[in-house]
Amino acid sequence: MKKLAYGLKSLIILLLIPITIFSQKEVKDLSLMPMPENIQLNDGKFLLDKDFTIVINKNEKKLFDAAYRSIKLITDRSGLFLNNQFPFVQPDAKGKGVVINISEDVELKLGVDETYELVVNEKQIKIDAPNSFGAMHALSTLAQLLDSDEAGYYFPGVTIKDKPRFVWRGLMIDISRHFEPIEVMKRNIDAMAAVKMNVLHWHLTDDHGFRIESKSFPKLHELGSDGFFYTHEQIKDVVNYAYERGIRVVPEFDLPGHATAWVVGYPELASAPGPYVIERMWGIFNPTIDPTNEEVYKFLETFFIEMTELFPDKYWHLGGDENNGKQWNANPKIQEFMKANNLKDNHALQNYFNVRLDKILSKLNKTMVGWYTDEMPDISKDYIVQAWKGRTTLYETAKKGYRSLISHGFYIDLVQSTEYHYNNDPIPPDSILTDEVKERILGGEATMWAEFVGPETIDSRIWPRTAAIAERLWSSGSINNLNNMFNRLDQVSLQLENYGVTHIKNQDMMLRRIANSYDIETLKNFVNAVKPLYTYSRDRPHIAKSYYPMTRIVDIALPDPRSARLFNTSVDELLSNEKINSDCYEKVKSHLETWKENHKNLLPLIKARPILAEVEQLSEDLSKVSLIGLEALELIKENKKADALWITASAEILKTAAVPKGEAELAILSSINKLLAKVN
Amino acid sequence: MKKLAYGLKSLIILLLIPITIFSQKEVKDLSLMPMPENIQLNDGKFLLDKDFTIVINKNEKKLFDAAYRSIKLITDRSGLFLNNQFPFVQPDAKGKGVVINISEDVELKLGVDETYELVVNEKQIKIDAPNSFGAMHALSTLAQLLDSDEAGYYFPGVTIKDKPRFVWRGLMIDISRHFEPIEVMKRNIDAMAAVKMNVLHWHLTDDHGFRIESKSFPKLHELGSDGFFYTHEQIKDVVNYAYERGIRVVPEFDLPGHATAWVVGYPELASAPGPYVIERMWGIFNPTIDPTNEEVYKFLETFFIEMTELFPDKYWHLGGDENNGKQWNANPKIQEFMKANNLKDNHALQNYFNVRLDKILSKLNKTMVGWYTDEMPDISKDYIVQAWKGRTTLYETAKKGYRSLISHGFYIDLVQSTEYHYNNDPIPPDSILTDEVKERILGGEATMWAEFVGPETIDSRIWPRTAAIAERLWSSGSINNLNNMFNRLDQVSLQLENYGVTHIKNQDMMLRRIANSYDIETLKNFVNAVKPLYTYSRDRPHIAKSYYPMTRIVDIALPDPRSARLFNTSVDELLSNEKINSDCYEKVKSHLETWKENHKNLLPLIKARPILAEVEQLSEDLSKVSLIGLEALELIKENKKADALWITASAEILKTAAVPKGEAELAILSSINKLLAKVN
């Protein structure tokens, strides 16, 4: 009976498989990211042909342009020769393709209605949204839905009703520590829009560079930037570019600490005499603005007035982090001022400074945003606090009545795993916060600090991991299946290339540079199994200077490399089943065999290119641990245990291999350890 | 005796080989392009270490910046952590590294002294040049010399004395037919400077777009560009960027034909009433400026005055090509004017127009440049003629006393072979021109017409072939060994990636897009054996519109693909020897075996991605002809001939395979034909 039942079950499975394969896709198979709030599959699909077009009910330039870009994305992927490249505007919108109806044109600001409805059926695609910003989100979703089979390109039938969970879904880009040209900003803005992020927080000043032209105080950029700064025209261009994609730009002028680049040109603003030079090392530095100097406030007011012409958004980030207070402690005039004004410590003095700046900003109709400091400034409750030190600070400030953003857990510069960031729910399901407090948590921001990134590498540090963060901030907390997320992320990451981001394509380019060769296969095999060291473990103060090369293996290797993840997933799957899954087995074996042979093939190149010397041992480690993995794999297949001496020797090798080399480490070591554990 | 002699010879060869291998490099092994006029190898080499720096004797910003960029290139490739990122300025220049001495700072203009001397020995690198422009060429040469071995990175010992053969070494980029953003211009300017080109000819207006902001006549760009134009600030930025790299920018405002985009906003300038719309098709079109309308000259003078603020160079291109005369013939007022002014035909009328414009330009201290027309305008001998229709026009105009440029043979948009362009010597050794006439031939320009290129593909249409053109215009005509050129070109092409050009890296990106997959190996195997169809054979008027997708295989395949060239070279080498060269044999066989199996592996992807349907047959062709190649190869190895039936059948398959599909064709077919011929 038992055997028969088993046979019957097999038969049923066999019967089901083809049905599953040929039946309509399931929702989880759609490569959408962030996942919409509500999605239902419809029968049929919308087939693309040369008559495809987009019709909009209102003559709204930014929506028209977005629709134009959507048409281009679709033709680029499908190769279709459409009859019309431009959308149409018709008050009574109809047409063979996408029909967009928006209710009204509104200004982009915090809390703008971003909802949309997207319905795809065989005959038409309908987008309804209260405004252009919602409609543009719908177009991003639509682009992700594009699919193909032998019959042609199509959009699957769906009804999507969507809106964001959080109103503030940001990416902070630090262009002070390393400068990023305008086109880097633009392509990342496009990628942000593709995953429905809506705030670019632009960290424009820090100890390493004052990156924006000032006409009021030209020595700021002339002496504080090494010539790497944005002109007013360029800033306007980028801010407008972002606005047209539904992205608010919040500038950050970090004060009173992180201020070296301000005081290179204007040492009189500092709390110690100077002179100052642009900082070249990483860390927290002394130059700090003098809050007791009335000229400082006049200077900043004039400067802020100049800047308001460039940054229309209501929110204005003034930093406020990591003031070490040394200059204040050492300045008798400041100490006297504190006594006279009953300011008990540096926190109180910084509070005084913030209150003064808050007043200036209020006059300019701007609202202050700042990094969390240990004590909150005693300023208006409008103030938005960006929590970066830990999750509790997020809740504390929200409880105190401030609106808050979370960046803790979203520090993408630390090259942590996608999984870690994805699981960083600002308000987890078990949260005991009151609804009122929850409401004050506006969302969060991924932070791309720039100690170790430049124009060639920044995209690969931002993407694709930030797409997972975008989902965390847009989608329901219940969307949290990791495997499904990774499947969708892989697809969306590919599509991000179409917006110009270089997160995939620059890797081979950088390998060709250091190999000085077209033949990078063995080097790539190696790099695919490697990840950069956790940033805080890198030798920041001693090894790193702002101008050191960012072209080494540590820079080329990807955080959370896809290839290593696929291997690790196969190992997990292999070990999770009692019976060997032969597909998994073959995948694991094939990876291990490639890596086992790789070092001896790579060695001649390592010898010829001294830039690779620092990872010679790591390359050898990869081959050694892969041999261990292979031997364990064979034992697992034969359902045997390993002998104790071999276990001891192998464990020793794995231990040595775990030590980072050249600031990089093996990304597949945990899997080898698991294989070893299985046969122990 | 004979046998002994043979043995002795072998012995001598065996003794010589190691000496050759371990001896110093030969001049031909240096990956320099363009090859310098005079080069000698010195003993020893200059080893790079962390104290490396560049010292300049004069405080000259553009040279300082160029030296900074050189240091960055060197650190990027070597991974060296230098103590100093910035060059030093010392009147009495000395230091551990490069010492640059220039005589004086001069303005960049046609004929500026571009000579330099570069001496590398164990202790120092010395650059001497009359001015910054020569010194920057020396830095480009130095970057190409960077090499490495196990001991470290180094510059080989050399003494180079160098100067250009022609003073005008240009690249024309058409950004009217398809627009190119600023960053595309900049990265190509960097690449131009790397191979010592010195003129960017910027084709700013044509039927398809008026691509520059006009403050005097805003409807020019507002109505004539679809919103794709450069602002004044952007133009200034690019012109300055080029100037700082020793590259003059010559703007082109094409008149009186190719004028559709002018008259969309200002139809009153045209020779027929209008209204006009931006042209979307390719070809020669009717809209032509009315040379009999006095308002036209006022308009153009005002416009030119505005433009002179943006383009400091003395030379000013007014196009003048391909006026079909239809509007002139059909306009009675114009016909009357011609009669009244004794202008016998349209050439005479165009001459009249040119003479009028020449006068305007002279007032503005500009000199006119124009495309060759069948009759030369009767204007000052300062006029520079750009020959594009054929080589004889170059010589004719030079004989008539005009200075001339050659673009015939340098039409890189036609996707012809590198060899063809390289052999296009403006003044071949057998030229019978007098020295006086030869002197009037200033040089030439590669022309990147933009019917079929956009930001993603333009770099791969320009590079690396244009580097070979740069050598043709810089180096002596006696530098013409093809094999050696290709060896150097391959290296220089790799290095061009470091300047940001995307000619290599965008191919995989584009393959991933149409595959919608990371796994592009089989698709790449196919594309590597394919080239785009000769442009004039493409179905220009009917298939192509300005907005059709440029993401198909024809766009992804490279003109003169390196991989196919290496295969073809191996076949040639194999067939040139009586005895089978086993290395060549293995290479040829391995390629053919990969291709033979490729189609069946690629087919599922072709079926899933309809954009590939148009090349399904071509993919099958590749596998079929590779099987023929393999069979022929085996016969060659066995020194046998093929049977006649097989020859006939194979020839038929090859004939079918020669028919282009999807506007692409096999790049390896001639080699298969050669293999077949060998066994026939």
- A497-537 pLDDT, tens digit per residue, is 999 999 999 999 999 999 999 999 999 999 999 999 999 99
Which domains are delineated in chain B? 38-162 (3.30.379.10), 168-499 (3.20.20.80), 505-678 (no CATH)
Whole-number pLDDT of residue B13:
44
Contact between chains at B75 and A149 (C-beta distance less than 8 A): no
Whole-number pLDDT of residue B540:
59
Is 50 exceeded by the pLDDT of residue A11?
Answer: no
pLDDT range class, residue A52, cuts 50, 70, 90: very high
Strand extents, DSSP E, A59-145: 88-89, 97-102, 116-120, 125-129
Whether the CB-CB separation of B412 and B385 falls below 8 Å is answered with no
B552 touches chain A (CB under 8 A): yes
Whole-number pLDDT of residue A541:
55
Whole-number pLDDT of residue A12:
45
Lowest-pLDDT range of A92-101, A322-331, A360-369, B370-379: B370-379
For residue B75, the chain A residues in CB contact (below 8 A) are: 547-549, 551
Searching chain B, which residue's CA lies closest to the CA of residue A144? B516
Longest dimension (CA), chain B: 94
In this complex, the residue of A233, A517, A551 whose CB is nearest that of residue B79 is A551
Whole-number pLDDT of residue A18:
40
Whole-number pLDDT of residue A16:
44
Whole-number pLDDT of residue A531:
98
Contacts of A585 (CB under 8 A, 6+ apart): A574, A633, A637
For residue B76, the chain A residues in CB contact (below 8 A) are: 513, 549, 551
Is 50 exceeded by the pLDDT of residue A19?
Answer: no
Rounded to whole angstroms, what are the CA distances from B650 to B575, B618, B624, B674? Answer: 19, 16, 9, 12
Structure tokens at B672: 């298969």
Contact between chains at B76 and A513 (C-beta distance less than 8 A): yes
Please compute the mean of the pLDDT values over residues A258-278 and round it to a whole number: 97
In this complex, the residue of B508, B509, B549 whose CB is nearest that of residue A79 is B549
Cα–Cα distance, B643 to B664 (Å, whole number): 31
Cα–Cα distance, A168 to A156 (Å, whole number): 30
Is 90 exceeded by the pLDDT of residue A544?
Answer: no
Preferred mutation among B548, B553, B612, B615 to probe A, highest tally of A CBs within 10 A: B548
In the residue annotation, A322 being an active-site residue is answered as yes
- A398-423 pLDDT, tens digit per residue, is 999 999 999 999 999 999 999 999 99
Q: Measure A108 CA to nearest chain B CA, in Å.
A: 22
B456 backbone dihedrals φ, ψ, rounded to 5° = -80, -25
**pTM (2 decimals)?**
0.95
Hey, is B128 helix, strand or coil? strand
Which of A323, A219, A337, A331 has its CA nearest to residue A271? A331
B548 touches chain A (CB under 8 A): yes
Give helix A232-243 / helix A182-194 axis angle, nearest 10°: 10
Whole-number pLDDT of residue A25:
67
B298 touches chain A (CB under 8 A): no
- A561-585 pLDDT, tens digit per residue, is 999 999 999 999 999 988 889 999 9
- The predicted complex's ipTM stands at 0.94
Which of B463, B467, B488 has its CA nearest to residue B422? B467
A356 touches chain B (CB under 8 A): no
- A127-137 pLDDT, tens digit per residue, is 999 999 999 99
For residue B512, the chain A residues in CB contact (below 8 A) are: 494, 497, 504
Contact between chains at B148 and A562 (C-beta distance less than 8 A): no
Helices (H), A125-194: 132-145, 182-194
Low-confidence ranges of chain B (pLDDT < 50): 1-23
B231 touches chain A (CB under 8 A): yes
> Which residue in A37, A322, A396, A614 is the catalytic one?
A322
A277 touches chain B (CB under 8 A): no
B604 touches chain A (CB under 8 A): no
A542 touches chain B (CB under 8 A): no
Rounded to whole angstroms, what are the CA distances from B552 to A19, A73, B512, B514, B660? Answer: 34, 13, 12, 8, 14
Whole-number pLDDT of residue A15:
44
Binding-face residues of B in 71-90 toward A, CB within 8 A: 72, 75-82, 85
Percentage of chain A exceeding pLDDT 70: 95
Q: Give how far the C-alpha of residue B489 lies from the chain's centroid of Cα atoms, to the nearest Å.
A: 12
Which of B665, B552, B562, B657 has its CA nearest to residue B611? B552
Searching chain B, which residue's CA lies closest to the CA of residue A50? B548
Q: Measure B120 CA to nearest chain A CA, in Å.
A: 21
Render B282-336 in DSSP notation, one character per residue: -S-----B-TT-HHHHHHHHHHHHHHHTT--SSEEEEE------HHHHH-HHHHH
- A430-486 pLDDT, tens digit per residue, is 999 999 999 999 999 999 999 999 999 999 999 999 999 999 999 999 999 999 999
pLDDT range class, residue A22, cuts 50, 70, 90: very low
Hey, is A30 helix, strand or coil? coil
Question: What element of type H or E holds A55?
Answer: strand A53-56
Contact between chains at A610 and B513 (C-beta distance less than 8 A): no
Rounded to whole angstroms, what are the CA distances from A363 to A314, A356, B516? Answer: 12, 11, 52
For residue A516, the chain B residues in CB contact (below 8 A) are: 77, 148, 491, 494
Hey, is B170 helix, strand or coil? strand
B539 touches chain A (CB under 8 A): no
Contacts of A153 (CB under 8 A, 6+ apart): A47, A48, A74, A77, A78, A80, A146, A147, B610
Searching chain A, which residue's CA lies closest to the CA of residue B509? A505
User: Taking all residues of chain A, what is their mean pLDDT, rounded to a whole number?
Assistant: 93
In this complex, the residue of A75, A491, A608 whose CB is nearest that of residue B149 is A608
The residues of B carrying an active-site annotation are 322
Contact between chains at B549 and A75 (C-beta distance less than 8 A): yes
Whether the CB-CB separation of A231 and B231 falls below 8 Å is answered with no
Is 90 exceeded by the pLDDT of residue A93?
Answer: no
Contact between chains at B85 and A494 (C-beta distance less than 8 A): no
Searching chain B, which residue's CA lies closest to the CA of residue A454? B76
Render B329-355 in DSSP notation, one character per residue: HH-HHHHHHHHHTT--SHHHHHHHHHH
- A165-208 pLDDT, tens digit per residue, is 999 999 999 999 999 999 999 999 999 999 999 999 999 999 99
Q: Measure A481 CA to nearest chain B CA, in Å.
A: 22
Q: Give how far the C-alpha of residue A492 lies from the chain's centroid of Cα atoms, to the nearest Å.
A: 13
